[in-house]
Amino acid sequence: MTLLLVVFFSRVPAAITMPEVNTDHLDEQQVQLLAEMCILIDENDNKIGADTKKNCHLNENIDKGLLHRAFSVFLFNTENKLLLQQRSNAKITFPDCFTNTCCSHPLSYPLELEENNAIGVRRAAQRRLKAELGIPMEQVTPEEISYLTRIHYKAKSDGIWGEHEIDYILFVQKDVTLNPDPNEIQSYCYVTQKELKQLLDKASKNEVKITPWFKLIAETFLFKWWDNLPNLNKFVDHEKIHRM
């Protein structure tokens, strides 16, 4: 592990060597969240350290190999409709984009670092479902969140900010109470498969914006999983990381 750290950080200079990025023009609440400590990983999802959300999302660091752990939640109601959100225009990466139910990061502290059956990631998902969508913690417990597989992707939001993540794909099917934080979410809706395909078609014509990870997942795996909500076990793959 020591050797791995030396090799990794020789590719990724310490954050103090990076030019300072001015965040004065950004939303104050979102800037405060940039201090959160994300989990640094290698390309096989092994923990190798921690760094701020800010440093993890600067393209200059991403281009030098900085990679962090993340998750994407897909929550369906009992009518088999998928809950989508539109990210607020206060978001630093991919503002105004439509995306899946909840997308965020486990943080580098003990409860969310625990890896057995991705329990730390599932705890983080419960936390963020409450923070973003106002879903009471007791309505979606970590045990009710199914971990399917992981994807590895990279995407630029603009010239400064971007994403480089190994993303845990999490599914939930339950009717929940919603009270979204407007600083996180500007709109939300439940959609059928047909309605989502219409949204994806609009996005292909640049009539609406969707997040790159949601586009990748929707175009590769989502509808197959959606067709098999009662039988997701056959799609569980905790060994492979899908490189996208």
- Catalytic residue, candidates 112, 132, 163, 165: 165
Which of 184, 161, 211 has its CA nearest to residue 57? Answer: 161
Residue 97 is among the residues annotated as catalytic for this protein = no
- Catalytic residue, candidates 56, 97, 102, 103: 103
Residue 103 is among the residues annotated as catalytic for this protein = yes
Active site residues: 103, 165
